[in-house]
Structures are given as C-alpha cells and as structure tokens.
Amino acid sequence: MSRRQLLIDVGNGRTKFGLATSEAILERREHATRELSPDAVRAVTQGWQFESAVICSVVPKAVPAFREVLGDQLIELRYDTPMGIGIRYPKPESIGPDRLANAVALAHMHGAPGIVIDFGTAVTFDILSADKFYIGGVIAPGLRLMTDYLHERTALLPRVDLREPTTAIGQSTEGAILAGAAIGYRGMVKGILEALKKELGGQKVSIVATGGDAEWIISGMGEDILTDPDLTLHGLRLVGNLRAPL
C-alpha cells in the first residue's frame, strides 16, 4: 500500500479533511471550524490510517487541537516550508497558508504564470510568475459576505439563497439582490482578472478557481477558467510529498 497522508484545510467556517496518497485524494470529510477540539479531530479522522499530516490554517486558535492529536506527524505549512515554488513578496510571513497551498497546486498541476481565484469568506486572487514565484495577490469581500452584509445592515433587505437570476432587471427585492450578486460579482471578478493579466504582460496565463461558490460564479462568466474544489488539498498533498522519506 502506498504511503498515506492526512490533509487539513482549516477555513473560517469549515475545515476540510482529506486522506491522500502521493498521487490522489482518496476520501474527504468536513467539520465546523468553531467546533474543532482534539476529540473532534480524532472523531473525524477515525478509521483513516496515515503516516503524516499537512495543515494550512487561517484560524490560528484551531491549530493546537491538531498539534495535540498529531504531534510530530504534523507539517504546518508556512512561508518557509519547502514547497517547490519561490516567494517574491515583501513580508512572506503575512501570506495566508491556504494561499500558499493554492499556489503550490497551481504551479505543479496547471503551470505558470498563473492565477488562483479562491471563493471563500473572502475571495482571493494569488499570482504565480512565469518562473514559479509567488508574487502577490488581491483580496476582496466574498459573495456571501456581501449579500449577508446587505441584510444585516439594512432594515428592509432580506437574506437570499443565492441562485441565478431570471433577468438582469429585478422584478422583486429578492430578484434585484440576486442580479446584483450574480452579475455584479462576476463583473468584479472579470475586472480584477483583466488588470492582473495586463500586469503579467500579456503572457498566456493559467487560471484556476476553487472554493464554495467557484462553480456557480465561473459558469456564468464565459471565461476559460478551470474549477477544482480540491485545489487547496492538492497543494497540501504536494507539500507533503516533498517531505516524504526516501
């Protein structure tokens, strides 16, 4: 049996777990991040056999539970972890580890130069140069953050379940919000991508999207953009491969 590793992507809302070989992700599980504890980690990973674990976390207070359970098996992805890519960025320690994992997956699976769009609580754009260096990115409000904010900060606007609007001209308050969310958000994404591609000098750029709303947003953009819901986990898998014993 090939060597197995546990992959852990700790997000603001949900934590994704993956059981992987060096080549593929075999199984996936999830857990609410705010409810993580050593016992929860043991319960989620029950029945999984692995030799090492790799974690990226945007919630620092969640990491001690994993350290307690996994001990020396755990590799914590940081800017100075061997990744197979370089970093050209003024303060590399400030780069979110999930963004580094995405850049690793982009470099090794899709090529450079490239851009990763990660649709989460925030939407992030991370850029890899032609010589496979992380060179920076863009952070904007996530889609649900924007629509929830409208509801929470106004007296009359409802919270809506996101879906494709039937028309651009909303025929109800809900329809107007859906049009703003879908059409407006895609316009923002297109505008950012256009500016990034221009700064990359007109080279052919690999673009990959991941995150909860990626499929829905990208499907209506008419752009040549791949979507991969497991991109961050693949980045962790690749980092783990670099640390594998000979």
Q: Are 119 and 98 in contact (CB under 8 A)?
A: no
Q: What is the pLDDT of residue 246?
A: 44
Q: Are 105 and 238 in contact (CB under 8 A)?
A: yes
For residues 93-98, give the mean pLDDT.
95
* Calpha distance 28→98 (Å, rounded): 17
What is this structure's pTM? 0.91
Of the candidates 72, 80, 98, 148, the residue annotated as catalytic is 98
pLDDT digits (tens, 9 = 90+) for 71-88: 999 999 999 999 999 999
Q: Determine how β-strand 25-32 pairs with β-strand 14-20.
A: antiparallel
Angstrom distances, CA of residue 184 to CA of 16, 109, 174: 29, 31, 15
Does residue 98 carry a catalytic annotation?
yes
Query: Which is more confident, 238 or 141?
Result: 238
pLDDT digits (tens, 9 = 90+) for 155-173: 767 777 778 888 899 888 8
Per-residue pLDDT at 108 exceeds 70: yes
For residues 181-202, give the mean pLDDT.
91
Dig out the tokens for 87 from the structure: 């970093």
Q: What is the pLDDT of residue 22?
A: 93
Torsion over CA: 165, 170, 171, 175 (sign)? positive
Nearest to 208 by CA among 123, 133, 115, 132: 115
* Calpha distance 30→177 (Å, rounded): 30
Q: What is the pLDDT of residue 150?
A: 74
Per-residue pLDDT at 205 exceeds 50: yes
Cα angle 96, 118, 163; round to 5: 145
